Amino acid sequence: MNRILAIASLQIRAAIRSKLFVSLMVILVLVVFGFPMTVKGDGTLAGQIKVILYYTLGLTSIILGITTLWVSSGTIAQEIESRQIHLIAVKPVHYFEIWLGKWFGLLTINAALLCFAGLIILALVHWNVKAGGKNNQERRIVKEQLLAGRRLIHPRDTLQQEVFTRYHNMLSNGMMSPELSRDEAFSEIKKQLLAEKTVIGPSSVKKWILEIPSFCSGKGYEIEKFELKVRFSPVRKGDNPVFGEWRIGTERNFILFKMTTDNNLDGMHQITIPLTQSVMDTVMVQSGEAGNHSNRKMILEYRNGDGEKSRTVVFDRERGIELFIRESGFESNLVRSLLVILCRLALLAALGLTASVLFSFPVATFSAFSVILVSIVTHYFVVMMATDIGSCCEAHSQKSSDHSFWQVTSEKTAKKLDTIFEPVMRLKAVEPFSDGVLVPWEDVGEAVFTMAIIYPGLLGIGGLLLFRRRELALPYT
Show the binding pattern over residues 380-419: x = contacts another protein (CB under 8 A), - = does not: ----------------------------------------
Supply the minimum distance, in Å, between the C-beta of residue 1 and another protein. 9
Note whether 233 and 313 are within 8 A (CB): yes
Supply the minimum distance, in Å, between the C-beta of residue 88 and another protein. 7
- Compute the CA torsion angle 212, 214, 220, 221 (nearest 10 deg): -30
Please choose, out of 14-22, 135-143, 194-202, 438-446, the segment that lies near another protein by the rule CB under 8 A.
Answer: 14-22
Whose Cβ is closer to another protein: residue 392's or residue 472's? 472
Q: Which amino acid is at 130?
A: K
Supply the minimum distance, in Å, between the C-beta of residue 79 and another protein. 9
3-state DSSP call for residue 247? Answer: strand
Query: How many whole angstroms separate alpha carbon 115 and alpha carbon 103?
Result: 18
Chain residues 37-96 in contact with another protein, contact rule CB under 8 A = 82-84, 86-94
Supply the minimum distance, in Å, between the C-beta of residue 476 and another protein. 8
- Rule CB under 8 A: say whether 360 interacts with another protein: no
Query: How many whole angstroms separate alpha carbon 235 and alpha carbon 311?
Result: 7
Supply the minimum distance, in Å, between the C-beta of residue 410 and another protein. 32
Supply the minimum distance, in Å, between the C-beta of residue 17 and another protein. 4
Q: Which amino acid is at 141?
A: I
3-state DSSP call for residue 327? Answer: strand
Note whether 327 and 150 are within 8 A (CB): yes
DSSP 33: I
In DSSP terms, 326 is beta-bridged to 150
- Rule CB under 8 A: say whether 235 interacts with another protein: no
Supply the minimum distance, in Å, between the C-beta of residue 460 and another protein. 18
- Rule CB under 8 A: say whether 6 interacts with another protein: yes
Supply the minimum distance, in Å, between the C-beta of residue 351 and another protein. 25
Residue 185 CB partners (closer than 8 Å, separation 6+): 167, 170, 176
Query: How many whole angstroms separate alpha carbon 56 and alpha carbon 34?
Result: 9
Whose Cβ is closer to another protein: residue 363's or residue 420's? 363
- Rule CB under 8 A: say whether 258 interacts with another protein: no
Supply the minimum distance, in Å, between the C-beta of residue 15 and another protein. 10
Whose Cβ is closer to another protein: residue 86's or residue 403's? 86
Query: How many whole angstroms separate alpha carbon 41 and alpha carbon 45?
Result: 8
Note whether 469 and 360 are within 8 A (CB): no
Query: How many whole angstroms separate alpha carbon 325 and alpha carbon 194?
Result: 27
Q: How many CB atoms lie within 10 A of CB 306?
A: 11
Q: What angle do CA 337, 338, 344 make, to 5 degrees?
A: 95
Chain residues 111-130 in contact with another protein, contact rule CB under 8 A = none
DSSP 155: P
Please choose, out of 5-13, 63-71, 127-135, 428-436, the segment that lies near another protein by the rule CB under 8 A.
Answer: 5-13
Q: Which amino acid is at 102?
A: K
Whose Cβ is closer to another protein: residue 130's or residue 469's? 469
Interface residue with another protein, options 38, 395, 406, 476 (CB under 8 A): 476
Please choose, out of 11-19, 313-321, 336-344, 425-433, the segment that lies near another protein by the rule CB under 8 A.
Answer: 11-19
Q: Which residues bind to another protein, rule: CB under 8 A?
A: 2-3, 5-7, 10, 13-14, 17-18, 82-84, 86-94, 471-474, 476
